[in-house]
Structure formats: C-alpha cells, structure tokens
C-alpha cells in the first residue's frame, strides 16, 4: 500500500457493471494500490460450491445457467465475510449488490457497523463487447490473476506474471448462453441500482470500454477523491 493513500475512516467501495465489465480486474488493482480488501460474491459463491456447503448446493445450478442466486443466500455469505476482522478497514465490493433487496440489506449492514459507502462506481460497457470479454477470460489457478485470450496474455506464454504458475482455469458459466442470461439479469435487476446510488449522491461512472490501464487510472482518481 502507498502510505500517502492511507484512509481515515472505514469505507466501502461498490463496483457495478455487467459480466465482463472489468470489476474483478479493477478490484485487484485497487487492492494492490490502496490496501483495500476485495470481496467478490462470485468468488465466495464459487468457493461454497467447491466446498459443497448447503448454500453452494443451492447456488450451483443457478450460477451455471447465468441466473442470480437468491438474495437470502448471497446476503448471508456477504454478511459473514464482512464481519471478519480484515474487512474492518474497508472493502471493495465486486459484484454485490446486484438487486434492490441486496442494496437495502447492505445499507442496514453498514449502518450497524458504522461504515459508509465512499463511492459506487458504475463500469459502463457495450453489451456487444461483453460476450468477447467473457468468452476469452481465464485466470491463474493458483493466485487468481485474470487474463484474456486477446486483451491480456501473460508476458511469457503459459506462465502467470504474478506467481509463475503454469495452470489456468476457465469458468463454466463463461459461455455464450449463460452470458446472455447474465446480461439480462444485469439489465433487469442490477442496472436500476445506478439510480439508487445516484440518489444517495455516491455514484461515479467510468467508461470501461477503454484499455485496462486507462480504466484503472480513472478509478484510482475516483478512489483518491472519495477518500480525500
Ligand atoms: P461476473 O463476472 O458475471 O460479474 P461473478 O463472478 O461476479 O461474475 O458472478 C458469477 C455468478 O455468481 C453470477 O452469474 C451469479 O449467478 C452469482 N452471483 C455473484 N454475485 C451475486 C449476487 N450479488 N447476487 C446474486 N448472484 C450472484
Ligand atoms: P468482471 O469481473 O466484471 O466480470 P473481469 O475483470 O473478469 O470482469 O474481466 C473480464 C475479461 O475481460 C478478463 O479476461 C479481463 O482480462 C478482460 N478485461 C477487463 N477489463 C478490460 C478492458 N478494459 N479491456 C479489455 N479487456 C478487459
Ligand atoms: Zn498466478
């Protein structure tokens, strides 16, 4: 963490955007730069599926088809993770909230814990680009660094830039059918949250069609202002 960016109060940053917008990619970069904890409900749900927990069993088929997991399950997972000590200094929520019910639950949770939303950043992208973004996506199996067949290959082919692993994985829901369903869910359930956070006075929008580094510079500026 860059010491000059130290934050005074516990604060929460929300990343909104359709599948493939770059939420995970940008959350990782902000984590490195500002020392915030990245909290991805997608990652938490995939871990629950892998562990075979009751929540994971209920979520698995829904996720595979590209639907949204029920608010009850997601809110319980989020609440549990946010109560852990490393989240006390602030978090980046990557993929939560995704429904009005989740947004209200988050407001209650933050009111209880004395945290505030520093900014809700909406990553704006064209639907047409999302299928390509998502279908070319893969990650390092060891450290989770994200890559893309066309837009971000490792510097040495087949070797993770961050940890040197040679194993990579792709998600079962990153196929054209599931992406179409995920985009529909985004427009129906999640896009209305843009107005919700605009009304709260915390909304920022970013052109996420730009290249990864340009998007990340713009986001770092927003975060710095939000915490100033
Ligand atoms: P994406 O790259 O599409 O943004 P995520 O990894 O955030 O993907 O989420 C993968 C899947 O996990 C979603 O399609 C959905 O099924 C489920 N999921 C993740 N976060 C939520 C949430 N906040 N509410 C409901 N379902 C969620
Ligand atoms: P999300 O978490 O919103 O679903 P990701 O961060 O996983 O999205 O990004 C989806 C894919 O697109 C990844 O393969 C990533 O490397 C790539 N990507 C992310 N941002 C950009 C960008 N600005 N330009 C081109 N490709 C990008
Ligand atoms: Zn790695």
pLDDT digits (tens, 9 = 90+) for 103-125: 999 999 999 988 899 999 999 99
**Each residue's pLDDT tens digit, 49-70:** 999 999 999 999 999 999 999 9
Q: Which residues are near ligand 2 (CB < 6 Å)? A: 17, 19-25, 133, 136-137, 146-148, 151-152, 208, 211-212, 215
Whole-number Å distance, alpha carbon 112 to ligand 2 midpoint, is 33
Cα separations (Å) of 17 from 122, 130, 132? 6, 11, 16
Cα-to-centroid distance, 95 and ligand 2 (Å): 13
Sign for the pseudo-dihedral over CA of 131, 135, 139, 145: negative
**Ligand 1 atom 2: residue of nearest CA:** 19
Nearest to 222 by CA among 199, 202, 195, 204: 204
Ligand 3 center–CA 185 separation, angstroms: 31
Q: Whose CA is nearest to atom 18 of ligand 2?
A: 22
* Residues with Cβ–ion distance below 5 A, ligand 3: 140, 142-143, 145, 160, 162-163, 165
Residue bearing the CA closest to ligand 2, atom 24: 211
Residue 182: active-site member? yes
Contact present, 156 and 64 (Cβ < 8 Å)? no
Residue whose CA is at the smallest distance from ligand 2 atom 10? 20
pLDDT in tens, the chain (228 residues): 444 444 445 689 999 999 999 999 999 999 988 888 999 999 999 999 999 999 999 999 999 999 999 999 999 999 999 999 999 888 999 999 999 999 999 999 999 988 899 999 999 999 888 989 999 999 999 999 999 999 999 999 999 999 999 999 999 999 989 999 999 999 999 999 999 999 999 999 999 999 999 999 999 999 998 877
Residue 193 CA, ligand 3 centroid: distance in Å: 33
Give just the sign of the alpha carbon dihedral 178, 183, 187, 190. positive
Contact in structure between 99 and 68 (CB atoms under 8 Å) = yes
Q: What per-residue confidence (pLDDT) applies to 226?
A: 84
Has 171 been annotated as catalytic?
yes
Q: For position 5, what pLDDT does the model report?
A: 43
* Lookup: tokens for 203: 């909304």
pLDDT at position 8: 47
Closest by CA position to 56, among listed 84, 64, 23: 64
């Amino acid at each position: 963490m860059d010491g000059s960016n130290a934050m005074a109060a516990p604060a929460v940053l929300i990343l909104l955007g359709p599948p493939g917008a770059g939420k995970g990619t940008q959350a990782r970069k902000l984590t490195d730069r500002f020392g915030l904890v990245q909290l991805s409900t997608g990652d938490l749900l995939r871990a629950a599926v892998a562990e075979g927990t009751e929540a994971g069993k209920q979520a698995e088929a829904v996720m595979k088809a590209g639907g949204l997991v029920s608010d009850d399950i997601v809110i319980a997972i989020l609440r549990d993770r946010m109560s852990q000590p490393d989240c006390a200094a602030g978090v980046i929520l990557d993929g939560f909230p995704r429904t009005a019910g989740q947004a209200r639950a988050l407001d209650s949770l933050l009111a209880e814990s004395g945290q505030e939303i520093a900014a809700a950043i909406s990553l704006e992208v064209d639907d047409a680009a999302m299928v390509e973004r998502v279908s070319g996506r893969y990650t390092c199996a060891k450290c989770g660094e994200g890559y893309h067949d066309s837009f971000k290959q490792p510097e040495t082919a087949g070797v993770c830039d961050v940890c040197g692993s040679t194993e990579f994985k792709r998600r079962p829901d990153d196929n054209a059918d599931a992406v179409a369903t995920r985009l529909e869910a985004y427009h129906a359930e999640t896009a209305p949250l843009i107005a919700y956070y605009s009304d709260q006075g915390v909304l920022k929008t970013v052109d996420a069609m730009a290249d990864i580094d340009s998007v990340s510079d713009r986001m770092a500026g927003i975060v710095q202002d939000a915490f100033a």
